[in-house]
Amino acid sequence: ERHGVHRRAVRQALVSALPPAKRSPTSRPAPKLGAYRAMIDGWLEADRDAPRKQRHTAKRIHRRLVDEYGADVAETTVLDYVRARKRLMGWPVGEVHVPQVHAPGQDAEVDWGQAQVVLGGVAVTVHVFVMRASFSGAAFCQASLVETQQAFLELHLQAFEWFGGVFAAVRFDNLTSAVKQVLKGRRRVESDRFVAMRSHYLSASEFTTPGIAGAHEKGGVEGEVGRFRRNHLVPVPRFADLAAPNAWLLECCEQDLCRRIIGRQVTVGEALAQERPLLAVLPAERFDASESATPRVDTKSLVTVRQNRYSAPVTLAGLKVQARIGAREITLSHAGKIVAVHERLHGRFGTSAKLDHYLELLAHKPGGYEQIAREILAEAERVDAEEDQQVGEKARR
């Protein structure tokens, strides 16, 4: 007692100068988790049929238990249980990564990912554009129905505006939206539109080694695509149309600013606040990523743009109009005035027709109402349904 040493320690020291081996901690029961074990097992089993990259992580499971069921259970308890269950189920062990150091405001990484969502009751695979700031870890994410160069360029503009400035350099893989030809070493022949966009914003481009071997060269955004998908797109979300998930994805980007990356002292948002003053200032004039065409309005008051048809007011039949082709919208103008705006169709031989473009004709030929093409009436009904849904949502709020 005088020396503060237990007699057991003295006895062990007399037997051997080496301290005894520490006992391995025995697993303890987790009574608070007990009520949710079957539910967790069910989620993991259901993941066998889910898209490979939209399966539950332990962190996502804990978040769902707390948010949806009010579970009072520690995250580490859920992590330990899920880790053990996944090993029994044969899930692969995660990869090991090399840490990197980045200067604030200097570089970002861009990549496309894919995710499954339900739009209007139909399962659809969307392409998710991600730009990640290498220093802060902040990420801008938006979905597109297609992975075209136009969508690629327009989403760059939105990303720079969301970050509040332009990075000195952005790193890509060798996607065709940016690269026409891969030369020896790091040399690339870049596409004209891509060069025009980055020259407008005075941002340099860097490209990874071709193939899987170069994936680790932009590992930050590669990991971000998966992290974002696992945390915000599991289970598979449901939306009315593409505008809804993109508004929601922006909210998720803002929420993620509050998270803290393992090993860092500050949150992602606090790191971004340090980084933003070091970004290059956005140019006064926004880069126009759209393309133009001058189609002629035919006798059905339709114009053909990229192998799809769009209606224009019947008073313009036989005249040429100016079409601005965006990634999401087709805008028709005549004599400097916008006369029609359509959601852009993808694929071929589709038709987007608006009933109000034909009202003047129907005033003179009322008997033609029943002869209007089905897609025109269907479009009108769709718009009415969307307006009713928006009114209902506002009422519920």
User: Structural domain boundaries of the chain?
Assistant: 24-89, 107-278, 291-396
CB-based contact 108:131 (threshold 8 Å): yes
107-278 homologous superfamily: Ribonuclease H-like superfamily/Ribonuclease H (3.30.420.10)
End-to-end CA distance of the chain: 68
Q: Given the structure tokens 């309005």, which residue do they identify?
A: 297
Provide the percentage of residues in the chain whose pLDDT is more than 70.
86
pLDDT digits (tens, 9 = 90+) for 121-172: 889 999 999 999 999 999 999 999 989 899 999 999 999 999 999 999 999 9
State the CB neighbour count (10 A cutoff) for residue 124. 15
Question: Can you give the pTM of this predicted structure?
Answer: 0.68
pLDDT digits (tens, 9 = 90+) for 58-105: 888 998 999 998 888 888 889 889 888 888 888 766 666 566 788 999
Could you tell me the two tokens for 305?
Answer: 């743009």
| Confidence at 338, pLDDT banded by 50, 70, 90 | very high
Burial class (CB in 10 A: 0-12, 13-18, 19+), 367: exposed
Q: What angle do CA 204, 206, 208 make, to 5 degrees?
A: 170
Burial class (CB in 10 A: 0-12, 13-18, 19+), 388: exposed
Q: Given the structure tokens 């026409």, which residue do they identify?
A: 180
Please list, in sequence order, all residues whose beta carbon lies within 8 angstroms of the beta carbon of residue 100, skipping any fewer than 6 positions away. Answer: 134, 219, 220
